[in-house]
Structure 1
Amino acid sequence: MSDNQQPWKRIHDKLQQVLHQYQVLQKDNDRLTKEVKELKARDVTQAKKIDELENKIAALKTATGQLNEADKKDLDKRLHQYIREIDRCIAMLSQ
């Protein structure tokens, strides 16, 4: 190989190496992006499940009368929020 073709070959080889690394990184990025989406979806599902279970616990405590002061205040607060929301809906319907 002549002396002036050698640098071009090295550049070509390096470029091929960089392109290969880019493709590998792109595949890895795609895989990680997919994994992040799946984990976020699982996180949302688990958060909903936790919320449902906390509501069930609160309902059971209320039904059995095993509420401590903090639970009573929380229940009272939620009941007032529900009542305000119902009042707001009734006001909207009466317009």
Structure 2
Amino acid sequence: MSRLIEDKIKQIQEKLVQLCRKNAAIEKENSALKQALEESKASAAAAASNMEAMQQQLDIARYGNTQMSPEERKAFEKRINSYLREIDKCIALLSV
């Protein structure tokens, strides 16, 4: 009877060791995936920032070299005004 109990305890211990190993492997994989996700987010943010900068350069080149139609002028002024509002918000936050 005690031999049977000892065998069951050994089986439970072996399963526990296996579970601990699997848990450690999963935690390691989870950490690697989190790091990869953060790197991907940073890369996406950099790409978005780069795209915005290129869009601004394109707009400057487009509006600097040609005459604008009234619709283009309104869109350009609207965009400039949104930048100014954003700058004002930043200044207000820094002033607090």
Q: Distance in 2 between matches of 1:13 and 1:42?
A: 43
Q: 1:51 aligns to what?
A: 52
1:33 aligns with 2:34: yes
| Matched residue type, 1:55 | Q
**Taking structure 2 as the reference length, what is the TM-score of the superposition?**
0.75
Equivalent residues, number: 86
Structure 1 stretches of at least 4 aligned residues deviating more than 3 Å after TM superposition: 66-71, 79-83
* Overall identity of the aligned pairs, in %: 19
Whole-Å separation in 2 of the counterparts to 1:16 and 1:36:
30
1:93 aligns with: none
Unpaired runs of 5+ residues, structure 2, are 92-96
Q: Distance in 2 between matches of 1:14 and 1:68?
A: 75
**Cα-to-partner distance string for 1:30-68 (whole Å, 9 max, x where unaligned):** 100110111111111111100100000100110121656
Query: Matched residues in 1 for 2:51 and 2:67: separation?
Result: 20
Q: Say which structure, 1 or 2, has more relative contact order (CA 8 Å, 6+ apart).
A: 1
TM-score (norm 1): 0.76
Structure 1 regions of 5+ residues with no counterpart?
Answer: 90-95
Paired AA for residue 4 in structure 2: D
Decide which moves more: 1-10 or 42-51.
1-10
* Higher fraction of helix: 2
1:75 aligns with 2:43: no
| Residue identity in the other structure for 2:50 | K
